[in-house]
Amino acid sequence: MYLRKLTVILAILAIGISRAQNVQSDLLDKKVVFIIVDGISADQLKTANTPYLDQIGRVGAYTDAYVGGGKGTYSETPTISAVGYNSLITGTWANKHNVWGNGIKDPNYNYPTIFRLYKDHNPNGTIGVFSSWLDNRTKLVGEGLDATGQIQVNHHFDGLEHDTINFPHDIRRNFMKLIDYTVADHAAHTILREGPDLSWAYLEFSDDMGHGYGDGERFTAAVEFEDYLVGKIWKAVEERQSLKNEDWLFIVTTDHGRTEENGKHHGGQSDRERSTWIVTNSKDTNGYFNSKTPGVVDILPTIVDFLNIEVPQSVRREWDGVSLIQPVDAFDLRATKKGSHLEVSWEALSEGSGNLYMSSTNAFKNGGQDDYKLIETVQLEKGKLKIPLRKLSKGFCKLILETKNTTLNTWYVEE
């Protein structure tokens, strides 16, 4: 009897401690920094000596990942730098955000970036962009543009690629190494002093060495140099957490891999060009992160969940990614024409039901609202549903699968 009572008391204490820890975590100020280190495929990362990324992964988790959208589908996305950045910060592939190359000719700002979502939710919050490329702030984030609600970046440090006096351009592009160092140093100091709520740091030198020299010692050395710079920012976050009542989510990734032959190029859809990775300090990664291969588009929903950002349903229905830290019921929604039917399929991660909706319009693309109709309530464990083509609008439709924890979307585009 005594042992039984003791067991009950210990169980109650354990529950109380767990709840107290959760309450304490909820009271902390939540902040995020994500870093894009340019052009490192997963196999190249694993062959380099990266003590800081290894340390972050030991605190949290590591996974192989991918870019490039749905290979051979309507969402296939070039494995090009600015395209990858915009896929991360909008949570969508290029068929939506409309950035197809580094020229960034005509971004579709109707698909809001993580910075716009955060500022809409918390106008008094602070954001930071620390970048070896000015266009990240001025074109992708779209600072000061009417189309982005004239969003303002509170802390920024960029544009050094245009400074040829302090950073004289040399044919070996060592000037970019110095720029990356300066950007990372400024990011670390700003994060430590000011603690922006949401920050993006971007480092380019590794990609330059890939284009110049391909696979080999020079590229590996560049990866190890970038790891050192990631470490500078990581140390600032660690120190900030030790001094302040703050909980930081730290995410490091890349924007694309490299070509199979020699690693000098990228842009296509080979497995190595699509191959990327994600390292995070989060101890809360979910089963999808731990057992599947996430995409770069999954990072935005993760940041949204961590910062508890309220997002309109119409925006969530456009995301091509899912959270890496909250429960995910299903992923990989697809629609394939098979004879007189459309087969809608998904990969289930839990049992239960979900509602499948359809819209014959794509008004969201132009800033409008789409009218979704309920097609059927499905059982997730079945993994697929057949819909007669006669029930669909001819040529195009958008499909949404909504479950208790997850919203997935796909398009049917008649060839």
Sequence-distant (6+) residues with CB within 8 A of 152 are: 143, 144
Residue 371: CA count within 13 A, CB half-sphere: 2
Q: Tell me how far apart the alpha carbons of residues 175 and 343 are, in angstroms, rounded to a whole number.
A: 53
Q: What region, left, alpha or beta, does residue 104 occupy, with left being phi > 0 and alpha being psi -120 to 50 degrees?
A: left
Q: Tell me how far apart the alpha carbons of residues 344 and 236 are, in angstroms, rounded to a whole number.
A: 46
Q: How many other CB atoms are found less than 10 A from the CB of residue 23?
A: 9
Continuous H helices in 104-156: 114-121, 135
- φ, ψ at 157 (rounded to 5°): -150, 105
Predicted model pTM: 0.93
Sequence-distant (6+) residues with CB within 8 A of 171 are: none
Closest CA to 282 of 261, 307, 258: 307
CA angle 153, 156, 158 (to 5 degrees): 130
Q: Which CATH superfamily is domain 330-413 in?
A: Immunoglobulins (2.60.40.10)
- φ, ψ at 73 (rounded to 5°): -120, 180
Sequence-distant (6+) residues with CB within 8 A of 224 are: 48, 49, 50
Q: Tell me how far apart the alpha carbons of residues 231 and 225 are, in angstroms, rounded to a whole number.
A: 10
Distance of CA 138 to the CA centre of its chain: 20
CA angle 137, 141, 142 (to 5 degrees): 90
What residue spans define the domains of the chain? Answer: 27-316, 330-413
Hey, is 355 helix, strand or coil? strand
Distance of CA 58 to the CA centre of its chain: 20
Candidate CATH numbers 1.10.357.10, 3.40.720.10, 3.90.76.10, 3.40.50.300; the one for domain 27-316: 3.40.720.10
By the 8 A CB rule, do 327 and 403 touch?
no
Task: From first to last of the 415 residues of the chain, give the pLDDT tens digit.
Answer: 444 554 445 454 544 544 444 444 466 899 999 999 999 999 999 999 999 999 999 999 999 999 999 999 999 999 999 999 999 999 999 999 999 999 999 999 999 999 999 999 999 999 999 999 999 999 999 999 999 999 999 999 999 999 999 999 999 999 999 999 999 999 999 999 999 999 999 999 999 999 999 999 999 999 999 999 999 999 999 999 999 999 999 999 999 999 999 999 999 999 999 999 999 999 999 999 999 999 999 999 999 999 999 999 999 999 999 999 999 999 999 999 999 999 999 999 999 999 999 999 999 999 999 999 999 999 999 999 999 988 887 889 999 999 999 999 999 998 7
